[in-house]
Amino acid sequence: MDGILNINKPSGMTSHDAVQKVRRIMKEGRIGHTGTLDPLATGVLVLCVGKATRIARYLVTGEKEYRAVMRLGVITDTLDAAGRVLETRQYAPPGREDIERVMRRLTGVIMQRPPAFSAVKVSGVPSYKLARQGRAAELNPRPVTIHRIEMTAYADPLVSFTVRCSKGVYVRTLCADIGEALGMGAHLAALVRTRSGRFSLEQAVTLDQLEDIASAGRAHQAITPMEEALADLPAVLIGNEEASKVLHGNRVSCPTSLANGSSDVARIHDSAGRLLALARIVAGTLRPELVFACSS
């Protein structure tokens, strides 16, 4: 069985544990995720099943959306509620306008430092392992994009908000940065990922639901075909001669409209509409990166 599985991950479970459980349910060893969720977090965890593991890197780049709750005045070592409290500050509750002003300042392309308790590798070792050993390294900040932050509720010390952002954003760090800018510190109290690329929470299945339909022999109903999962990428139809080139890994010409578009990856289909490859758009050409099947 090949395709994409949209799981609603429960709180308290690591993404790795979720993958292991799905492997047992689906009786399929080739399963991988397209971006982890912290154990505290719930919501959309996109898994690639079978041959679809080959397209994982193309799904990672999609925008993410979250619902978050931030607690003001308490700073933890992991930047979330699962961590050890480092400091509790006394403060005068800020006004909504003050919080929204800081949120606006953190919107757009910003430099964000990943938390020490994260999977970012330091000399090949996940940073969280070093942090647990008391050898946390300060990670370099990197550019990320916050498209929108919207406060949805405020009852001190809790602030609820939604975020739409690029890949690579740590909402834990965003909370810590907001708290620092306000002067009282903060940490992430709760997090739900509501969207990852084209996959939404409304479409997700729980692990219990997956187990039920798999037991009934209907696991395929939860699978999104690879072509549908890649539908956000622009598509190019080519003839038989060019199809032969693509299937041998050779470049073909790229339509001008596509070369000047916003995507740097495209789907290549043959004249019968079959998906042949995913290609990188390079200097007016399509360079095959992932070839799927032979044309007949």
Domain annotation covers residue 18: yes
The mean pLDDT of 58-84, rounded to a whole number, is 94
Q: How far apart are CA 63 and CA 147, in angstroms?
A: 9
Q: Judge if 80 and 175 occupy the same domain.
A: yes
pLDDT tens-digit series, residues 19-45: 999 999 999 889 988 888 999 999 999
pLDDT tens-digit series, residues 174-207: 999 999 999 999 999 999 999 999 999 999 999 9
Q: How far apart are CA 94 and CA 100, in angstroms?
A: 10
Q: Judge if 124 and 165 occupy the same domain.
A: yes
Residue ranges making up the domain that contains 9 = 3-62+198-228
Q: How far apart are CA 150 and CA 246, in angstroms?
A: 45
Q: Judge if 23 and 104 occupy the same domain.
A: no
Helical ranges in the chain per DSSP H = 15-26, 56-59, 96-105, 127-132, 171-182, 207-215, 226-229, 240-247, 256-259
Domain annotation covers residue 193: no
Q: Considering only CA atoms, which of 176, 181, 178 is closest in space to residue 149?
A: 178
Q: Find the catalytic residue in 38, 80, 177, 270.
A: 38
The mean pLDDT of 232-241, rounded to a whole number, is 89
**DSSP-derived secondary structure letter, 83:** S
Q: Are 35 and 57 contacting, i.e. CB atoms less than 8 angstroms apart?
A: no
Q: Judge if 85 and 141 occupy the same domain.
A: yes
Report the CATH number at residue 9.
3.30.2350.10
Q: Judge if 183 and 150 occupy the same domain.
A: yes
Residue 113 burial by Cβ neighbours in a 10 Å radius (0-12, 13-18, 19+): middle
Domain annotation covers residue 192: no
Q: What is the pLDDT of residue 294?
A: 56
Q: Judge if 172 and 249 occupy the same domain.
A: no
Q: Judge if 20 and 85 occupy the same domain.
A: no
CA distances 188 to 177, 184, 216, 232, 271, Å, are: 11, 14, 39, 31, 50
Q: How far apart are CA 72 and CA 58, in angstroms?
A: 36
The mean pLDDT of 121-127, rounded to a whole number, is 81
Euclidean distance between the first and the last CA atom of the chain, given in angstroms as a whole number: 23
Residue 38 falls in the annotated catalytic set: yes
Q: Judge if 80 and 156 occupy the same domain.
A: yes
Tokens of 71: 């607690």
Domain count within the chain = 3
Domain annotation covers residue 111: yes
